[in-house]
Structure 1
């Protein structure tokens, strides 16, 4: 009985320590990757502003060829919704909505993940002229993990988790646009 009490108090102590530590851990995370594409900015932006085109270069879109996709609204404009549903846990179910378009420069999305877990995040693609024939494309993602789940940010790197997928997607985009 004494050993059981010691184990119980140790477990409670570890949980309490984790909860206190979580109060001092950042809640926000952000990932941004970029690539230079050998095309003028207008050509690049005209391609990336359409969410349907992400199906051609995004790593997640290629993970499940059987994924169900639905679209609502006018692609490339504020309010357009691209939704997906997959049995593949790495893809899951969710949707993204265009929330802002700065023509020729940037498109912002709100991502809502439904399965395998519920969360939301902001994402964007931005274009910047390097010169008349080269464009820098930035693909970014940011969100917040509320207390106490923010403690997981100590043990995982969002950059390592999704940064590689962004890099692969940007390289796929580069390959498509430079053909």
Structure 2
């Protein structure tokens, strides 16, 4: 098994990058599109730092499915890039580099969500049953579909 793993998915959005970027750079807006919204109706959220861009932080704690962790925007280049430092604490510890590339495509854009991480004992164990790509890829697809819907509905 490799020392690292990568999960990546893309979606075409019928909206310009300028309409998509704010939905990613502001964690307050993730509730409208994150694929993990709804896994715990009692999820506790805590926001720190600026509302969006570098230094914006988000921590969550929830049931067994939601787990606990935190994210921080480490880089934001409107309208083309958002990079996030992602740390899971429960149900297992993991540290991931996550980024969203937003590239013009026709009259809209292509949004690519990528996450890389080091293979840990927990991910090795999960890897015996399935790959991280098969485990998280469908969630990325669900989130990107929701992001497309939210971005396309946002007024110009």
Residue in 2 that maps onto 1:52: 28
Residue in 1 that maps onto 2:6: 30
1:113-132 alignment runs, 5 A limit: 113-131=88-106
Runs (4+) of structure 1 exceeding 6 A deviation are none
Q: Structure 1 residue 156: deviation in Å?
A: 2.1
Q: Structure 1 residue 151: deviation in Å?
A: 6.5
Residue in 1 that maps onto 2:127: 153
Residue in 1 that maps onto 2:19: 43
Residue in 1 that maps onto 2:147: 173
Q: Is the 8 A contact 2:46 2:60 kept in 1?
A: yes
Which structure has the bigger radius of gyration?
1
- Aligned-partner Cα distance in 2 for 1:80–1:55: 15
- Aligned-partner Cα distance in 1 for 2:108–2:54: 27
Which of the two has greater strand per residue? 2
Which of the two has greater helix per residue? 1
Q: Is the 8 A contact 1:111 1:123 kept in 2?
A: yes
Number of aligned pairs? 153
Q: Is the 8 A contact 2:85 2:96 kept in 1?
A: yes
Q: Is the 8 A contact 2:25 2:73 kept in 1?
A: no
Q: Structure 1 residue 70: deviation in Å?
A: 0.4
Q: Is the 8 A contact 2:7 2:133 kept in 1?
A: yes
When normalised by structure 1's length, the TM-score is: 0.79
User: Structure 1 unaligned runs (5+)?
Assistant: 1-24
Q: Secondary structure of the equivalent of 1:178? A: helix
Q: Secondary structure of the equivalent of 1:59? A: coil
Cα deviations by residue, 1:49-102 (Å, 9 ceiling, x for unpaired): 212211111121221121000000112221111000102x12101110111112
- Aligned-partner Cα distance in 1 for 2:125–2:142: 28
- Aligned-partner Cα distance in 2 for 1:147–1:95: 20
Q: Structure 1 residue 28: deviation in Å?
A: 0.5
User: Structure 2 unaligned runs (5+)?
Assistant: none
Q: Is the 8 A contact 2:18 2:78 kept in 1?
A: no
Residue in 1 that maps onto 2:59: 83
Q: CA RMSD in A?
A: 1.8
